Amino acid sequence: MAKVFTPLEIRQRHGPLFARRLITMVDERIGRARIFEECCAQGPVEWDAVNRLRAGGVVDHVEVQGTTLVMDVRIGEGEVHFGPASKETGGQALKSLVVKNGKVETTWMGLAGASVGVGACLPQAEGVEKAEFLSDEEVGGARQVEIRITTPLHRRLILGIDDTDTKEKGATWVLGLRLGREMPHATFLTHKIVQLNPHAPQKTTNCASTALAFAVLPAEVDKAVKWAQKYVADNTFSSETVMASYQGIDVPASAVRFGADAKDTILSIHDAEHVAEKSGISIHEVTGRRGAIGAVAGIGCVDLGLYSAGLPEDFKHL
């Protein structure tokens, strides 16, 4: 019979290790999930990223953000293949992700030294509820470990904010960062400063909006949005402030195009409202309407990496 351990029991068994946090966000509409796995150092994150891509399973894409590994995965089960070099290099894989009874169950496999990562380190992470060994619970050496980890099911919530400052005071990116750090109803994941068209006729100085991404329990989504809208209202200096919100793993292509266009095109409030309706983005007027352009563009650019912070001409040499 499989043996089940709590994170505390794993820690007592192996001593404190290096995984800090494990968050699983699911979007059943598209059959996909995004996993945030935070470590105390970048080396293990980079090694895990390469090995999980190599081994297959349900991993489609990985991105290293400092000491955090972000994985886009398919809901279901995939074939794991460690490859002919596995005996020499070890191997690690995410074999499956399923939603069961309102929780997320991820099944991991580790071979040789990598068995310590999935069998002793990851089960200690904040966010883990329990770990069930589908193999022998011993790790390290030449062993192969298979383990099922249960975590709460989260949704991905993205907020876009714009037009909160004036030429005299305020900065939208500062308000957004404070909002993210103080949010009581969700886990703050990422903050983006989104550079928009500097030639826009109505701007303060830099013409930049802000986008924030959170992991939130399904029952807390509405609370998080309402809290954020009030926070923005209480801290804005502008009479044209808007917040936009979107729930989902993937930002719709129409919103991404709008965000990219906002970097070198003069767009209208009507354009923003049209794209928001098409993309399933909600626009929340706080003190006015003009900020809708940057708020929707912020959501569109949230997953564009460095491009979100730059202008098209910044990347012509790449």
Q: Summarize pLDDT for 149-206 with one digit per residue, the tens.
A: 999 999 999 999 999 987 788 899 999 999 999 999 999 999 999 999 888 776 666 7
Span 91-113, pLDDT tens digits = 889 999 999 999 999 999 998 87
Q: What is the pLDDT of residue 15?
A: 95
Residues 182 and 311 in one domain: yes
Tell me the percentage of the chain whose pLDDT exceeds 90.
81
Are 30 and 122 in a shared domain? yes
CB atoms within 10 A of CB 178: 12
Residue 124 covered by a domain: yes
Considering the domain architecture, whether residues 8 and 144 belong to the same structural domain is answered as yes
């380190």: which residue's tokens? 121
Residue 81 lies in a domain: yes
The answer to whether residues 171 and 265 belong to one domain is yes
- Rounded Cα distance, 232 and 179, in Å: 8
For residue 318, name the pLDDT band (cuts at 50, 70, 90).
Answer: low
Domain membership of residue 191 (yes or no) is: yes
Residue 62, burial from CB neighbour count under 10 angstroms (0-12, 13-18, 19+): buried
Q: What is the pTM of this model?
A: 0.93
Same domain, 179 and 310: yes
Does residue 116 lie within any of the structural domains?
yes
**Is 158 among the domain residues?**
no
Upper half-sphere CA count for residue 270 (Cβ side, 13 Å): 0
pLDDT band of 89, cuts 50, 70, 90: low
Domain final residue pick, 119, 153, 187: 153
> Which residue in this structure is represented by tokens 């699983």?
24
Residue 165: what pLDDT? 87
CA 63/CA 131 separation, integer angstroms: 25
Q: Which residues span the domain enclosing 9?
A: 3-153
User: Is 55 part of any domain?
Assistant: yes
Residue 92 CB-density burial (10 A; 0-12 exposed, 13-18 middle, 19+ buried): buried
Residue that finishes a domain, picked among 114, 135, 153: 153
Average pLDDT over residues 208-213: 96
pLDDT number for residue 88: 53
Give me the number of domains the chain comprises.
Answer: 2
Tell me, what's the pLDDT at 87?
Answer: 52
Distance CA 76, CA 23 (A): 17
| Residue-level pLDDT at 312 | 87
pLDDT at residue 169 in the model = 84
What is the C-alpha separation between 168 and 204, in angstroms, rounded?
Answer: 9
Provide CB contacts within 8 A for 49, sequence distance 6+: 62, 63, 64, 69
290 and 188 share a domain? Answer: yes
Inform me whether the pLDDT recorded for 256 exceeds 80: yes
- Kindly state whether residue 253 falls inside one of the protein's structural domains: yes
Cross-strand pairs, 162: 242
pLDDT band at 138 (very low <50, low <70, confident <90, very high): confident
Domain final position from 127, 153, 179 = 153
Q: Which has the closest alpha carbon to 159: 193, 206, 203, 210?
A: 210
Q: Do 247 and 266 have their domain in common?
A: yes
Q: Judge if 285 and 201 occupy the same domain.
A: yes
Average confidence score pLDDT of the chain: 93
